[in-house]
Chain A
């Protein structure tokens, strides 16, 4: 069933090929088989009429070569017409054979040689010319013979014998001419010779005309066979032409018939081919028809089933479509949810040690694309090194215990910024059985910052409460100390003055004793005085008193300074910075006075500055303490007092500048950059809280709209410069 249509196609193709090959072989030529007979007939007729013209001339009376020439020209033209129709003169004549065998119409070429015809034409032309010349001569002689015979008869009227002979001769000539003049003029010539013999006698002089007649007869005798030969030649050549024409005709006919036959056979083949194709097609059609019937029947039953099936399928499809739709919707929802959620959901493949899924939120937190996250382990690498150990420990624990873990750590995002991340992750076992972590990352930096802020505030609050307490206590203590110190001081003053008087008294007593001779009293007194080593006392008591006084004064001073320092006031007021500096230095003198010198370089004309005195004192105290520490670190033997702290104040424009310069060990760059950071400290835990300078920075920068700068060279020293605006008015107004 499959091969048959192929065979049909091949057959049809073969059929087309046949047609193409056939028509390819057909070309157009000048003469075709239909016109050829007319050409050939014309040649035949003209050839015949030429022969006839010659015959007419021979048998007729009239001599006129014009008609002969016309016949000759016609014949010549008939041949040249055929010959000139060749495609090329050098090639043989080519004819187109048109045929129509009732089934097909077509053309076929056939070639013929016309060489024979052409040469025959040339030869015939010459023959005709010869004929004209010779025939003219003969005709001329004939005319002249009769003419001369006539005149001879006239001349010899009286000679009956000769006259008789002449008449005889004339009869012979006429007879010869009438029946067979061509062949038997020799006979006539003999007769003339006989006649001459009869006439030519001593008695009779031969007439001149007879000689002329003789000549002409001789001419006829000579030309008679010639003209016969010419006529025979002409007949031969005309027959030859006739034969040649017939040959061409026959060949053309044969070729034509052959071509006709060929095309007939071809056509029959073509018809058989088409018929067989038709039959095959018809059979196929029938077969197809039967098949169709069966198929239709089958189809009917099938249709019912299909209809039923289709319905169910359609319903199912509808159902599944709706499910698919809702699924899609859900998926969309989920995707939107995941994509828009603050934070980032992920799945970590524990076997591959790789993140297998991560939601787009990762870009918000880490600033890196999902691809980067998936291909490289960038997320875990970004964790702060100091947080990593904790992270992995906790994670390990969570995995082992199969429990959810809440991790918090710092990372550096793509730009290097510190980010706090909270990760809540749960170990899960996927459908395929592989162990995974499902978790979520949050950016908790803002919360963390807020926490820190709160913590800091808390600490500060505690600190300040402590300080306040210390201040209050200090104030209380100072007051408590101050009062006794006051009267101690007063008493000491009184004692000093009194001791001098007492001692003067004793001196005078001693002088008197010495002046008085020894008497008991004097001796007693002397020994008593000796007992108490009076001279020593005399010497030491005043100095002791003095020292006591000094001491108590110092105490009073410190107490006062403390009172000043712990001034509980938190409000802005006009402060004498120099005085403030003085008391601060004093308060912390215990910190520095054993290791370094203190140089105070105050501007005497410093204006009152609007500030919170306690804050400024605290800041400067901090710096001085730091400076003292730096000096201690630098100088192994601080007793030499090589260390030096300079505190100086300046007034520049609207600002007051406080500079604390030390020649301690200074700071490295990395430390210098971070000294104002909260919790940053280079000191051992317990010694420093890392809060001092950060608080200092905040107090000066934020509270007083001033500035605090540091200038430090490692190994040489550090300079802190605090700039305070004289008036807070401008700042307040802007706030």
Chain B
């Protein structure tokens, strides 16, 4: 009897200690540690990788997905607007595809629900790849190795669905892990500098966190560009693409609304905003403070915040890189 109650006491204590430890290990922070992506069929991922880097998806065999989403440079092209086939200039800034699987929807205006549906967009856009499914399937079918790879993964062989599925699967694996900030969140206090820590504090206290939150530090909601100021009036030259989500829903309240972009790897994805108007991180932070936060910001604060933002750059599995 005695022995039994003793065991109970020990068990109860252990449970309490574990509870405390878990609370310490996972502080109640608005930004969560990035976790490894869901594992997929390796063959499918490899096939997606091949297609992602294939110029056959474009009408004149010059542009691949990787042309605008350079995986070595934050998975975008470093341009305000991307260059499509025949050196055509696009209308919008290419977003990074890293961690894009975690976003609520794809494209700046969230016009498609997921990555698989997104694939069709650039292929058919005359200013981007300028091709179509029929052409793409025809070209890909001429590559016997590729056909074999397809039939190995999918029973149905090459089709619109399988191409999209392969590319989307590959993209879903492009998760940046182990960013210094993630290490910090795990409890490694030395993972980031003091300035970064200060920046994180400011990030939360100055209101950035109200939109850029969650595991992906953004990407999980839409917000009007210019909540506390009229950005577009100040910038001028309003184009259709500037209306953002309004183009999709047609609701007045969605005018100038965009998907809040993820700030992970933000240091690598200049220029910023849908129009690529901010060429540096500092400029972007200033613009955000002005139009979104509606408050003054000091250069120290800008510095601290950019230092924090730089700690959000994670690593990609080398296997997934070309």
Contact = CB atoms under 8 A, between A and B. Distances in A.
A65 interface: yes
B294 A144 contact: yes
Interface stretch (A134-142, A235-243, A405-413, A672-680): A134-142
A219 interface: yes
B285 to A, nearest CB: 15
B104 interface: yes
B296 A136 contact: no
A133 B294 contact: no
Given A136-B221, A144-B206, A65 B213 contact: yes
A136 B295 contact: no
Nearest to A73: B104
A140 B214 contact: no
Residue of A62, A126, A140, A216 ringed by the most chain B CB atoms within 10 A: A140
A669 to B, nearest CB: 109
Contacts of B32: 64, 66
B222 A126 contact: no
Given A66-B32, A126-B249, A208-B296, A140 B227 contact: yes
B211 interface: yes
A147 B206 CA distance: 7
Contacts of B206: 143-144, 147
Contact of A212 (B210, B211, B215, B295): B295
Interface residues of A, number: 26
B294 A66 contact: no
A480 interface: no
B30 A219 contact: no
B257 interface: yes
Contacts of A216: 228, 294
A582 interface: no
Contacts of B227: 137, 140, 219
Interface string B32-52: 100000000000000000000
Contact of A140 (B28, B207, B253): B207
Residue of A129, A137, A141, A208 ringed by the most chain B CB atoms within 10 A: A129
Given A130-B253, A212-B296, A63 B223 contact: no
A62 B296 contact: no
A522 interface: no
B22 interface: no
A212 B220 contact: no
B107 to A, nearest CB: 15
A66 B215 contact: yes
Contacts of B295: 144, 147-148, 212
B79 interface: no
B156 interface: no
B292 interface: yes
Contacts of B221: 65, 129, 132-133, 136
Interface string B223-237: 110011000000000
Q: How large is the interface on B (under 10, 10 to 19, 20 to 34, 35 or more residues)?
A: 20 to 34
Contacts of B316: none
A215 interface: yes
A69 interface: yes
Contacts of B211: 136, 140
Interface string A330-364: 00000000000000000000000000000000000
B195 interface: no
A132 B104 CA distance: 12
Contacts of A129: 221-222
Contacts of A148: 295
B263 to A, nearest CB: 14
B210 A133 contact: no
A144 B220 contact: no
Nearest to A136: B210
B293 interface: yes
Contact of A64 (B207, B214, B294): B214
A496 B205 CA distance: 217
Contacts of B294: 141, 144, 212, 215-216, 219
Interface in A392-437: none
A209 B296 CA distance: 8
Interface string A192-218: 000000000000000011001001100
A545 to B, nearest CB: 162
B257 A63 contact: no
A70 to B, nearest CB: 10
Nearest to B224: A133
Contacts of B104: 69
B205 A62 contact: no
A91 B10 CA distance: 61
A140 B293 contact: yes
B209 interface: yes
Given A129-B221, A219-B228, A63 B30 contact: yes
Nearest to A131: B221
A127 to B, nearest CB: 11
Residue of A126, A133, A148, A215 ringed by the most chain B CB atoms within 10 A: A133
Interface string A138-161: 011101100110000000000000
Nearest to B102: A66
A139 B253 contact: no
A549 to B, nearest CB: 157
B283 to A, nearest CB: 20
A64 B253 contact: no
A66 B295 CA distance: 26
Contacts of B292: 140
B214 A144 contact: no
A212 B293 CA distance: 10
Contacts of A63: 30, 209-210, 213
A545 B309 CA distance: 206
A129 B293 CA distance: 19
Interface string B189-225: 0000000000000000111011101111000111110
A106 to B, nearest CB: 37
Contacts of A212: 294-296
A215 B222 contact: no
Contacts of A144: 206-207, 293-295
Contacts of A143: 205-207, 209-210
Contacts of A65: 213-214, 220-221
Contacts of B251: 126
Residue of B216, B257, B295, B296 ringed by the most chain A CB atoms within 10 A: B295
Contacts of A139: 207, 210
B293 to A, nearest CB: 6
Interface string B73-115: 0000000000000000000000000000000100000000000
Contacts of A132: 220-223
B121 to A, nearest CB: 20
Given A143-B210, A144-B294, A219-B227, A66 B220 contact: yes
A451 to B, nearest CB: 115
Contacts of B215: 66
Given A144-B293, A219-B294, A64 B222 contact: no
A66 B99 CA distance: 14
Contacts of B28: 62
Contacts of A209: 296
A69 B220 contact: yes
A126 B206 CA distance: 27
Nearest to B221: A132
A126 B228 CA distance: 22
A147 B297 CA distance: 12
Nearest to B103: A69
B280 to A, nearest CB: 23
8 contacts: A66-B32, A66-B216, A132-B223, A133-B221, A133-B257, A137-B224, A147-B206, A215-B228
Given A140-B227, A215-B228, 19 more contacts: A63-B209, A64-B30, A66-B213, A69-B220, A126-B251, A130-B253, A133-B223, A136-B210, A136-B211, A140-B210, A140-B292, A143-B206, A143-B210, A144-B293, A144-B295, A209-B296, A212-B296, A215-B294, A219-B228
Which 5 pairs of residues, A with B, have the shortest CB-CB distance?
A66-B214, A132-B221, A140-B207, A140-B210, A136-B210
